[in-house]
Chains A and B, each alone.
Chain A
């Protein structure tokens, strides 16, 4: 099964962001969307999540699907403990015991055992982002939308985060749509990678990578080759510089 976006049109003020845009997301896989800043990647995520409405176009297969989000910032409620932050997105009709059990299971998954009762202000930035990953998986969603969640993290933390994310994802393979402008992140996580061009947006490149996300090191020869071609594709979307 695939989730399909057909003939999407969206303008923002006078700017045409999407004009008859088409894209497909394989369910149960991780799709990465690469593109220059300001090309409308976030808008696309908002449309997919049902937060913004397209001007016209069809979203096939998205019907009753629930989405959860991982944002660039953790966006945790400062007055709630780690556990309560995760429970915040769980359905309200779930019994209290089940809610906390579910939260604790995910806390374990992101290796934050023992921190369930901590407040976000007592945690480091990376730990907070792990809570937000746990929250996204706790929410009974079909799709996880990620908007540059690794931006601004240092390289070690970034790699760890990718490791944690793929660990959880291996046990719970939801459809992931991951927006980034970092080629390395896309290569380490993506099953499919799309490169988007300037608005009105077009797909300028599409590659598929076999093999599990998270097991990759980025040093394999075929990934190195892909990296080159992705840089090339990204380079064609900007005039003066090849990357950000």
Chain B
């Protein structure tokens, strides 16, 4: 059954409200700010954090790490994915590596990265490694999915190689790149914040979350969590928006 855009929105809103009500009920039940703080107090803490003079440095550092990690993994992932899509040999060669990277617990990556790199780089490295397999798999699927008959048609009509790449390959793979970016970003933010918690760079959401936890400031831990969720949501929105702009032909 299809539902309209507005009713979808209303249901989405109802879902958020349900979560808030459940939170409020739990807060009332436990009746302790050390276990479950009140939602409205947490919201105040969010506002307090937002207007703090260090906020831009803290959230900005985390976002910057995410963007850098994503950019590196996107560039490497797209290149590797294209090769894997074109060459079945390379695909077979890279598959065990991707499975390995994907199965390694994030915490192992962080512990190793802590030994190898400086604290600011650890989250970037971890984010890059967690996002990379998503990009490769999606892009190589995209390349494998290109309709051979379309390529044949272009060749029959004598369309040049560079036009075929620009007007056939890239648009065909684009939706796969976008969906790869979306899943990569989703997992990437989590990896970055875990990385920050453990590596303790000077600025970072994870760093502040960890110190809040040390002082049993549950309110602030949750407030930072809310901010992290909003950042992740914001990037997801940007990706969806660009998909809407780029992939207009898909109905």
Contacts and interface: CB of A to CB of B under 8 A. Distances in A.
Contacts of A51: 155-156
A121 B250 contact: yes
Given A75-B150, A79-B249, A69 B157 contact: yes
A77 B153 CA distance: 10
B159 A75 contact: no
A92 interface: yes
B165 to A, nearest CB: 13
A26 B159 CA distance: 27
Nearest to B175: A79
A75 B168 contact: no
A67 B163 CA distance: 19
A60 B232 CA distance: 65
B53 interface: no
Chain B's interface: helix, strand, loop or mixed, by majority? helix
Interface string A34-56: 00000000000000010100000
Interface residues of A, number: 20
A79 B171 contact: yes
A75 B153 contact: yes
Interface in A58-91: 66-69, 71, 73, 75, 77-80, 88-89
B106 to A, nearest CB: 36
A68 B154 CA distance: 10
A80 B249 contact: yes
Which of A67, A68, A89, A121 has the most C-beta atoms of chain B within 10 angstroms of its own C-beta? A89
A169 interface: no
B156 A92 contact: no
Nearest to A69: B156
Contacts of A68: 156-157
Interface residues of B, number: 23
Contacts of B157: 68-69, 88-89, 139
A121 B174 CA distance: 17
B159 A89 contact: yes
A79 B250 CA distance: 7
Contacts of A79: 171-172, 174, 247, 249
A75 B249 contact: no
Given A71-B149, A77-B171, A121 B159 contact: no
Contacts of A80: 167, 171, 249
Contacts of B155: 51
Instruction: List the 5 shortest-distance A-B pairs measured between CB atoms, nearest first.
Output: A79-B171, A89-B157, A75-B153, A79-B249, A119-B249
Given A80-B249, A119-B248, 8 more contacts: A66-B158, A68-B156, A75-B152, A77-B150, A77-B171, A88-B159, A88-B163, A89-B159
Interface of A: 49, 51, 66-69, 71, 73, 75, 77-80, 88-89, 92, 119, 121-122, 139
24 contacts: A49-B156, A51-B155, A51-B156, A69-B153, A69-B157, A71-B153, A75-B147, A75-B150, A75-B152, A75-B153, A77-B150, A79-B172, A79-B249, A80-B167, A88-B154, A88-B159, A88-B167, A89-B157, A89-B159, A92-B163, A119-B249, A121-B251, A122-B251, A139-B157
